[in-house]
Each structure stands twice: as C-alpha cells, then as structure tokens.
Structure 1
Amino acid sequence: MGGDAADRPNLAFGAHDEPGTGTPYSRYVRLDELHSLQQPRSKVHAEYSFIVTTQVMELLFDLLHRDWQLAQGALRENDLPGALAALRRATHTQDVLISSWDLLATMTPGEFTAFREVLGEASGFQSAAFLKLEFLLGNKAPSLLRMYEDSPAVHGELTAALHAPSLYDDALALLDRRGVAVPHASGPERHRHDPEVEAAWRRVYTDPDLAGLTPLGEVLLDTAERVTRWRQRHYSSVKRTMGAKPGTGGSSGLDWLKISADQDVFPELWTVRNGL
C-alpha cells in the first residue's frame, strides 16, 4: 500500500533539518535568522516596534499576493469554488493587516520624531510587495516603476505585473465566459469605472439564471472593502502620529493617503448597488 517505506518521504517535523543546535521548531522557522533582522538605528524603543510591525506587514503582503494569485489561477481554469475559497481565505489575511495598524497608531508624535531622522529616504511607499498588490487590484500606474530603476530584477518583476491581467480582469473574463458580455481588456493603466462593467454586474445580481456568480461579486466586494479599511487605517495612523508633515521618501504624506483612501477598488461593484 503506497510502496516501500523507504520510498516515501519522511514527513516527521524537522526531518529535513540541517544539523545544528536548537530545537527542530527553531530550525524549521529559522528563528535565529528571523530575530536577527530587527536592527534599530536609534535607542528609541518605538523604532523597534516600528520595524517589527513593518516586517510583519511585508510578510502578510506576500501571503496575500500568493492567495490572490491562486484565485486568479482558479478563475482562469473556470474553478469558481476554488477562486472563492482563496479569496475568502485572503480576507482573513487582510483583517490581520488592518489590525496591524493598531501597533503603530499608539505611537506618539514625540516617539516617532525621536527616530524619524534615521529613516532617511525610506518609506513604505517604496515597498515592491505592496506595489504588486496594488497592480493585482488594478491600481496601475507606469510612473510608479521609476523608483526601481536601480534594481533591475525588481523593476522587471513589477513591469511584468503592470502589464499582466489584474485579479478583477480575470473575474470579468470569467463572467464573459459564463455568458455575461463584459469588457475585460488588461493593460498598464488604472482600472476606472466603466458603465458596461456595471451593467454586467447588474445582470449577475438580478438574473436568476446567473445567481451562481453572485458569490464572486460579494467576495470581491469583501476584498475591496478591506482595501478601503486598510487605507483608512493607514491615513488615520499617520494623521495621529505625524500630522500633515511631508512623508518620508518625498511623498506628500497625509494628502496622498487621503486621496488613496477615497478611491474604491472594483468600483462597479460599489456603484451597481445604487440601482439594485
């Protein structure tokens, strides 16, 4: 049954660990390396909290990207249940990301100012992992690639993401294959509200024969709502911590965050509700 035991992989915890000290758990999750990555440049305690929180966010960005890509793959294979499962799982990652702002929101202006100088030109706006998420959501802008011109590998990866179909493009393509005529051409520009796309979603929500597609619209809106919550929490946390001062890295700080928070992801899923 299943062949000789010698031919089967050893799935015991830590079975493939490299020889070394520490427990199998510490070697599996590479604890020594993980806990060596926090390198504050000041003696201000708040900087350590800032580093830990931003590193956790980066890991969650990657996890979210993986689930959204799994959802894309399922949509392309016409596997709606698989796509829904991946998107629903991703909403829990989004919830943790949103909550992570709680760790930074309590930082006083004095605490942030005490170590802000050591950040130099560093800004979360420069996160390639976050930008990949934005492109995957359809929030595309070729100008954003300029900051990566000195990093060819990252620049190439982001260029490919910029020109690839977004998650929303693949959702619309599925609707089209299911008989709901809808434009879904992908490109390197930001997706903006399209009356034809809104009309397609209206059919999904009102035609009984298309009721099986309604959960896709709802889970996409769950995703979009959490994107808005993330942006709003980012805005309020920055407003509380540093007010309207210019952001690090040369960004316009609070003004830019406010504009971003006011932009809906998957806009037709919001506007279609006006006529339902």
Structure 2
Amino acid sequence: MIKPYDPSEEGAQMSFDGRMSYGDYLQIDTILNTQKPLSTAHDEMLFIIQHQTSELWMKLAVHELHAARAAMQENRLEPAFKMLARVARIFEQLNNAWDVLRTMTPSEYTQFRETLGQSSGFQSYQYRQIEYILGNRNQSMLKPHAHREDIHAMLKKELDVPSLYDVALQLVHANGVDIPKAILDRDVSKTHVADEGVEAAWATIYKDPDKYWVLYQLAEKLVDFEDYFRRWRFNHVTTVERIIGFKRGTGGTGGVSYLRRMLDVELFPELWHVRTQL
C-alpha cells in the first residue's frame, strides 16, 4: 500500500499554534465574513463578491497609479512603465470578472434587486478616484460622496494635483517636444480638452520613435492602459443590458444610456486622434 504523502516530512510547517499562518497574514476570516446578503436569493452572493473583488482590484490600481505618477514626476520612467503595465493587467482581470456576472439572468437578479435600495456602482469612490487620477475630472461627480466628509475631501484633494496625463505632458515638454504653454499652465482641477498642439507633439514622437524612444514607450503604455479601460466600460454596458435591459439603474442613472455615454469619454484624447495623421 502506498504511504500517503506527508509534506511535513519535507519540512513543511504544519503547526501554527502561536505562529502566523496564511489566514492570519491575509485576514481571511475578516474578508470571508464581509458578504452579507439581504435576501434569500442564491445569486446575491455572486453579486456581492463580484463587486467586492472589483473594489479590491481597484484599490491596487489606485496604489499603482499613485506610484506611477510619483515616479514620472521624479523622472523614474522605467518603474513607472512597469506600474502602468500592471494597471492595464488589473483591468484585464476586472474585464474577466464580467464574464462571471453575466451568468446571472434577469429573472435571478430581480429576486434581490429591491434589497439594493439606492446603492449602485455609480457611487464607487475608488472608481471615481481612478478617473480623477487619470484626468476625467467631472466635479459634479463629487456630489454622490458629499455624505462622507473623508471621501469627499480625498477626492477633492485629487483634483488639486496634476493628473497622470498632465504629468505625462510635462514629461514630453521636459524632454524636448514642445507642449503649448496654455496646456502646461492650465487649471488641473478640470478635465483636459483635446488640443491640436498636444496632438502635434505626440505626432512628432510617433514619427521618430528612435529619437524619442522613452516618450514613445510612455505613449504606448498610456494607450495600452486606456485600451483595457475602454474594454472594461464596454463590458459593463453589455453586462447591464443583458441583465436589466434599459431599466433605470438602482442609483437613479439611466442605466445603459448613462453607461453608453461613458464609452465616448477619452482619457488621453490626442494619443487616439494622432493615429489618423500618422
């Protein structure tokens, strides 16, 4: 008879009385006890975990974006590139999560939708923080967070510093490709609007990548990330339409109509527009 495999015979730790375990380090008990369905519907657990895990991935995205922006401001571009690549892959994970949620049918969702009250992903402050970091700085979107002074203050503080794209344009200028002064001196609390001078700067870089290799890499890291971000938005729209059709969202938005409008938002507009002239 074959003897059962015993990892302890090869040195694996099997006793954790008074010692840190995997569950201790990751606070697994705390995490696994935060799912509190408000109905008896089977699929509410899926709905909760989908959104909780998405918030965890967004927390990591915020962590990486803050670090990438700081690295860019310090002209440490190689670490920044790695962080931006990681954020793109984070959004790939967020994209894959929609495939799981789409296994829920309209009939299953209606069994617990009323228990959500007015709560909605529209109110995710981490998602709003990500958009503000990237440069989509719609100040009207502060209103859903007015009831939380700490969150409102955090988001307001984000509007006072240059966005990731503002920092990228400053880098372009510092590395010998002119960016219009009006753009460099603009009010960073507002959303950047596509500018012909900025598009011309990116065109200069794309037409001579060997000369501007670092800036060329920066451009492609930004495009790569926004590509994944756009896919996430598209998957959001199609998932919502598949589950609730054109009903109004629980948070009061138009639902699919609101989400479709978000598909037109460009985070780094000139990097997409320049492709037409190359």
- Flag whether TM exceeds 0.5 (same fold): yes
Instruction: From the superposition, tell whether residues 18 and 246 of structure 1 become closer, same or farther in structure 2 (CA, over 3 Å).
Output: farther
Which of residues 212, 215, 226 is equivalent to 1:213?
215
- Write out aligned runs for 1:67-146 (5 A): 67-146=64-143
Q: Report the equivalent of 2:195.
A: 194
5+ long unaligned stretches in structure 1: 1-12
1:106-165 Cα distance to aligned partner (Å, 9 max, x none): 211111111000000000010111100010111111111112222111110010112221
**Aligned partners of 2:265, 2:196: CA distance in 1, in Å?**
17
Distance 1:44 1:139, change over 3 A: same
1:249 is matched with 251
RMSD of the TM alignment (CA)? Answer: 1.7
> Aligned residue for 1:25?
22
Residue identity (%): 38
After superposition, what is the alpha-carbon deviation per residue over 1:150-209, rounded to whole angstroms, capped at 9, x for unaligned?
211111001011222111111111111111111333522222211111111011111342
Matched letter for residue 45 of structure 1 = H
Contact 1:122–1:249 (Cα < 8 Å) also in 2? yes
Give the SS at the match of 1:249: coil
* Structure 2 portions without partners, runs of 5+: 1-12
2: CA distance, partners of 1:19 / 1:242: 50
Instruction: Identify which range, 228-237 or 197-206, moves more after superposition.
Output: 197-206
Instruction: Name the CA distance, whole Å, in 2 between partners of 1:232 and 1:90.
Output: 18
- Separation of aligned partners in 1, 2:221 and 2:17: 42
Work out the CA distance in 2 between the residues paired with 1:91 and 1:109: 30
Selected match of 1:53 from 50, 73, 85: 50
Secondary structure in 1 aligned to 2:162? coil
Equivalent-residue separation in structure 2 for 1:137 and 1:211 (angstroms)? 23
1:231 corresponds in structure 2 to 233
Q: CA deviation at 1:239?
A: 0.4
User: Counterpart in 2 of 1:156?
Assistant: 153
Give 1:103 deviation, angstroms. Answer: 1.4
1:21-44 residue CA offsets vs partner (Å, 9 max, x unmatched): xx7111111111111000000111
Asked whether the equivalents of residues 141 and 190 of structure 1 are also in contact (C-alpha less than 8 Å), the reply is yes
Aligned counterpart, 2:268: 266
Count matched residues.
259
Contact 1:166 1:186 in 2 (8 A): no
